[in-house]
């Protein structure tokens, strides 16, 4: 892509060789001469004179830093309103060139005749299996070796990577992405204890619903409800290896980092952020706009927005205060010793 075309695409002002060919995007500290990069955060300006970039996206009022050599820089610049958002756009542009799966159905895929697969630009990869009575809409891509069981509904513009499993009856909303190895709709963990110590399996009869614009990372597990549904609302983004138990509800635009786990029937509000490895027990409610830090364990409902942290999570302010006291215990004991010694001296 020529620099002139990139400048036009970004609605920016180009200073430099308009015919230069750019082949990819890169980080300012490590990119190569056929890559474009950006400066948004001033702390990266130090790389301005050393970068090998073929071009840099900067803000309209960007001032070129002085070089140690005093020599003027010759790197082409594209000046835009918001360099970070412009860079995301061009990153997207280059990413879109990677075609992950052709439209059409691969001849090795096994698809039950009762399922309806859109013919409008939907592609199903090699060795996929699609069960009975499924509905798959337009512009969907399903990569090789993914298994979709009976009665699954998949909306438009959905991207499902390889080796995914979607159990019977689950529903996937428009524009959603599911990464490899994730399991949608496996049985919730329901076992009724018998008097002899053995367990009887409680049938898991519900489904999982992913609403629109949801992204699920790789090797996640989202269990079907015992009855009713496990629901992941629109705009929710999950990182990798996340466990969502049966009958959980996750509100709109909540994001969850890797290896977090949410136990059964818990309801998470909208716009929450849950850190990596965090654990949330079952049957509680987390209100909207809550931030749970990495590795925190939440065992009670949270009813006020804000930050929560700790091995037994509380408001972060309280948690950090407690930690300060604990780290100060050696001094506390010294103070007691001093008092005891004075005592002794006095007696």
Active-site choice (49, 112, 246, 283):
246
* Residue 124 to residue 136: CA distance in whole angstroms: 10
Q: Kindly state the smallest distance separating residue 72's Cβ from a copy of itself, in Å.
A: 27
Question: Looking at beta carbons only, is 15 or 227 nearer to a copy of itself?
Answer: 227
Question: Looking at beta carbons only, is 30 or 67 nearer to a copy of itself?
Answer: 30
* Residue 196 to residue 24: CA distance in whole angstroms: 65
* Residue 265 to residue 238: CA distance in whole angstroms: 18
Q: Kindly state the smallest distance separating residue 22's Cβ from a copy of itself, in Å.
A: 13
Q: Kindly state the smallest distance separating residue 112's Cβ from a copy of itself, in Å.
A: 10
Active-site annotation holds for 106: no
Three-state secondary structure call for residue 49: coil
Burial of 33 from C-beta contacts in 10 A (0-12 / 13-18 / 19+)? middle
Comparing C-alpha atoms, which of 233, 220, 119 is closest to residue 160? 220
Q: Kindly state the smallest distance separating residue 184's Cβ from a copy of itself, in Å.
A: 9
Q: Kindly state the smallest distance separating residue 68's Cβ from a copy of itself, in Å.
A: 26
Counting other chains too, the contacts that 105-112 makes at CB distance below 8 Å and 24 or more residues apart are 106/144, 112/150
Question: Looking at beta carbons only, is 44 or 94 nearer to a copy of itself?
Answer: 94
Locate 133 and state its tokens. 């009575």
Question: Looking at beta carbons only, is 145 or 156 nearer to a copy of itself?
Answer: 145
Residues paired with residue 21 on neighbouring β-strands, in sequence order: 2
* Element holding 184 (H helix, E strand): strand 183-186
Burial of 342 from C-beta contacts in 10 A (0-12 / 13-18 / 19+)? exposed
Locate 156 and state its tokens. 């438009």
Q: Which residues are catalytic?
A: 246
């Amino acid at each position: 892509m020529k620099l002139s075309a990139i400048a036009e695409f970004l609605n920016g002002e180009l200073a430099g060789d308009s015919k230069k060919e750019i082949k990819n995007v890169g980080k300012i500290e490590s990119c190569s001469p056929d890559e474009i990069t950006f400066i948004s955060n001033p702390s990266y300006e130090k790389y301005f004179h050393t970068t090998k970039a073929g071009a840099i996206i900067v803000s309209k009022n960007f001032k070129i830093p002085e070089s140690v050599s005093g020599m003027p820089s010759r790197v082409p610049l594209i000046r835009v309103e918001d360099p970070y958002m412009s860079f995301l756009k061009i990153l997207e542009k280059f990413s879109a060139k990677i075609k992950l799966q052709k439209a059409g159905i691969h001849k090795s895929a096994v698809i039950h005749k009762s399922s309806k697969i859109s013919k409008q630009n939907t592609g199903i990869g090699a060795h996929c299996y699609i069960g009975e009575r499924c509905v798959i809409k337009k512009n969907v891509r399903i990569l090789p070796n993914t298994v979709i069981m009976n009665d699954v509904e998949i909306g438009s513009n959905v991207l499902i990577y390889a080796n995914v499993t979607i159990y019977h009856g689950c529903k996937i909303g428009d524009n959603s992405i599911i990464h490899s190895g994730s399991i949608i709709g496996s049985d919730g963990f329901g076992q009724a204890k018998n008097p002899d110590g053995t367990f009887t399996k409680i049938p898991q009869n519900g489904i999982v619903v992913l609403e629109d614009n949801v992204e699920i990372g790789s090797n996640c597990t989202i269990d079907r409800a015992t009855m009713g549904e496990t629901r992941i609302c629109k705009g929710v983004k999950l990182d990798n290896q996340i466990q969502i138990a049966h009958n959980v509800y996750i509100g709109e635009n909540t994001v969850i980092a890797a290896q977090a786990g949410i136990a059964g029937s818990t309801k998470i509000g909208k716009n929450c952020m849950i850190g990596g490895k965090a654990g949330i027990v079952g049957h509680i409610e987390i209100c909207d706009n809550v931030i749970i830090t990495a590795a925190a364990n939440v065992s009670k409902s949270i009813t006020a927005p804000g930050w929560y942290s700790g091995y037994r999570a509380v408001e972060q302010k309280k948690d950090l205060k407690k930690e300060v006291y604990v780290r100060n215990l050696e001094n506390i004991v010294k103070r007691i010793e001093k008092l005891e010694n004075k005592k002794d001296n006095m007696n």
